[in-house]
Chain A
Amino acid sequence: MGFENLLLGFQVALQPYNLGLAVIGVTLGTIIGVLPGLGGANGVAILLPLTFSMAPTSAIILLTSLYWGALFGGAITSILFNIPGEPWSVATTFDGYPLARQGQGGQALTAAFSSSFVGALFAVVLITLFAPLLAEVALKFGPPEFFAIQLLTFSSFIGLGGGSPLKSLVSILLGFIMAAVGLDIVTGQLRMTFGIVDLMKGFDFIVAVIGLFGIGEILLSMEEGLAFKGASARMNPRVVWETWKVLPRYWRTFVRSCFIGFWMGFKPGGATPASFMSYAFAKRFSKNPESFGKGNLEGVVAPETAAHAAGGASLLPMITLGIPGSPTAAVMLGGLIIWGLQPGPMLFKEKPEFVWGLIASMYTGNVIGVAMVLAFVPLFAAILRVPFAILTPLIVAVCAVGAYSVNSRMIDVWYMLIFGVIGYVFKKLDYPLAPLVLALVLGDLAENALRQSLIMSQGSLLILLERPISGAITAVALFFFALPIITPWWRRLRGGSVPAASPRET
């Protein structure tokens, strides 16, 4: 069933034009991943307006390639500069940077890229197998089921996100409230505009992403003081080949990390906890755990594999259910809507060349990505040697260009600055930003699903629990919501101590 569809996809993805876009996407993505303050999510957000005039399939290929590139780029800065360009590369610094300091940067980079490739490929293969099935199931979903999935999405931020559950909850609610600002499309009523014309159109989530992640991140890194002291890496075919000969030894770590990554990444909040979890497992199962943190190649393999498996997996719910698993996927989902596609299971039926082109491009994008980063690491690393007094205003200016071009409105540039300050404050106070962005994207969908469900049941919320599929999903969601309350209670019962908060997703 899936195989000829995949062939169809490859016919799309392998067209020279689309291959060229993939190369451009990977290059830009890697640069964006290397630069502080420009992550995958807002790289995609800034480029999104440029794709409005492209064919949807080509546009999504460009953006997913950018996403892969950003994932690869994060590894370069973590290993050579000890600066995690992305939150999910924090765990990579633990062993990557010591390796680079010992003059084995080439090995560490090769291991990181190869692991990323394996992780991503694993995720893409699973997507190829499961996406059509999931879409098939999702076709039978009604509004209650969709609302239940939304509940599950957000409950996993609260139950599994780590950090303060109350603050996660506030982030989610704030995102939903901001999504509701403006015209209510169901009744045609204006909400929360307080007579201000500029508020009528509401807040654009792309602008929010650029502000929260781009400007907010720059402000944070300014505060910490930008100082790039990089180790250099020798990369040549021999180093790559020698490392590849060693890597199969870690097959257990690869397999374990792939599964951890996919499992965590499928649910929102994924890549960062997945990378830490995978690192912790690799250390625990290792024969010499004390060598971790001092430059163990396995300590690079584990988090990179998991982060990329998670990064790939977060695209699965986006294409099958129309519910993104990460902020980057959320921005892409916004892109689908702008290109005139209705995200969700119907895409498989209505636009097979789009869906399968996208899936096939994940294969090609990864192959291109790994080849390019292996070949051009020194060039990408050189970006960070550009002094901060040039990089900082450059990034701010690029963000402003991106924010303006979304709707061609000056007010959006102001929003971007405001969101930047909010992002800075929230990040410092430990309010997670990812759920806020997801809520902002999904707000209208969630509200409509809830309203339609309530209309179906004449106002009873119990409908969410009464239907079998939505009932099961809602039950799991309620369990996750209750988890922060249950966990300390359960631990006290067993006489354990409360664990340290796990690192958060941005």
Chain B
Amino acid sequence: MRAADLTTALVLIAGGALVIWDSLRIGIGWGTDGPKSGFFPFWLAVLMIGACLGIMGRALGDKSGKPFVTREQLRPVLDVLWPAVACVLLMHWLGLYLASALYMGFYMRRFGHYPWLAAVSVSVVFAVSVFLIFEIWFLVPMPKGPIEVWLGY
């Protein structure tokens, strides 16, 4: 817990420093028509860094030694996360419908140990219903890939 607390605070401080640097670049003072663009972010970042230092001070005093996450806890989390990342990556080429159907099918097969038929039918039903609701009914277009082009969309 302590290490995670310190790391998060450090990352936020680094982010804050970046904001301060950018704000100084565009000016934090008084322009011709009121405060310059950097004024508001500058003070936000200064306050945030101050608060983060306070959090770090608190965290250093924390002796509980509770781990942020155990190996057994992290596994299922990563199991959701990495296929999701892969799915979003695939969306760039395959479009949203196919990529999310693949994701669902993969997850069901791999972690739910479903038979192929179940996995395929659930993911196809999902993709088709999203298509009908968004693309047809509400006219909200989703990213499309070769399959949709081949089908004439």
Using a CB–CB distance below 8 Å, which chain A residues touch chain B? 49-50, 52-53, 164, 166-167, 169-170, 173-174, 176-177, 180, 184, 186-187, 189, 191-192, 194, 215, 218-219, 222-225, 387-390, 392-394, 396-397, 400-401, 404-405, 408, 410, 413-414, 417, 421, 424-426, 428-429, 431, 447, 450-452, 454-455, 459
Interface size class of B (residues with CB under 8 A): 35 or more
Q: Is B94 on the interface with A (CB-CB < 8 A)?
A: no
A170 close to B12 (CB less than 8 A): yes
B48 close to A177 (CB less than 8 A): yes
Using a CB–CB distance below 8 Å, which chain B residues touch chain A? 1, 4-5, 8, 12, 15-16, 18-19, 22-23, 26, 30-31, 33-41, 44-45, 47-48, 51-52, 54-55, 58, 68-69, 73-74, 76-77, 79-81, 83-85, 87-88, 91-92, 96, 100, 103-104, 106-108, 111-114, 122, 126, 130, 133-134, 138-143
Question: CA–CA, A410 to B35, complex, Å?
Answer: 35
A50 close to B140 (CB less than 8 A): yes
B40 close to A223 (CB less than 8 A): no
B55 close to A451 (CB less than 8 A): no
B54 close to A459 (CB less than 8 A): no
Which residues on B sit within 8 Å (CB–CB) of A224? Answer: 73
A49 close to B140 (CB less than 8 A): yes
Q: Distance (Å) between the CB of B65 and the closest chain A CB? A: 15
Closest residue on chain B to residue A396 by CB atoms: B84
Which residues on A sit within 8 Å (CB–CB) of B84? Answer: 215, 396, 400, 417
Which residues on B sit within 8 Å (CB–CB) of A394? Answer: 104, 126
Which residues on A sit within 8 Å (CB–CB) of B26? Answer: 189, 191
Additional A-B contact list (9), CB under 8 Å, known A167-B55, A170-B55, A192-B22 = A50-B138, A173-B48, A215-B84, A389-B107, A397-B126, A424-B77, A452-B34, A455-B33, A455-B35
B79 close to A222 (CB less than 8 A): yes
Q: Which of A170, A222, A390, A426 contacts B108 (CB 8 A)?
A: A390
B103 close to A417 (CB less than 8 A): no
Question: CA–CA, A455 to B34, complex, Å?
Answer: 5
Which residues on A sit within 8 Å (CB–CB) of B92? Answer: 410
29 examples of A-B residue contacts, CB within 8 angstroms? A166-B58, A170-B52, A173-B45, A176-B44, A177-B44, A177-B45, A180-B44, A189-B37, A191-B23, A192-B18, A215-B84, A225-B76, A387-B112, A388-B112, A389-B107, A389-B108, A389-B111, A389-B112, A397-B126, A397-B130, A400-B84, A401-B96, A404-B142, A408-B141, A417-B84, A452-B34, A455-B33, A455-B34, A455-B35
A400 close to B87 (CB less than 8 A): yes
Given A189-B26, A191-B22, A455-B34, is A425 in contact with B51 using a C-beta cutoff of 8 Å? no
Which residues on B sit within 8 Å (CB–CB) of A189? Answer: 26, 37
Question: CA–CA, A75 to B112, complex, Å?
Answer: 28
Which residues on B sit within 8 Å (CB–CB) of A414? Answer: 88
Closest residue on chain A to residue B101 by CB atoms: A397
Question: CA–CA, A451 to B31, complex, Å?
Answer: 11
Given A192-B19, A393-B107, A413-B91, is A174 in contact with B77 using a C-beta cutoff of 8 Å? no
Question: CA–CA, A218 to B103, complex, Å?
Answer: 16
Closest residue on chain A to residue B127 by CB atoms: A397
A404 close to B143 (CB less than 8 A): yes
Q: Which of B69, B139, B140 contacts A223 (CB 8 A)?
A: B69
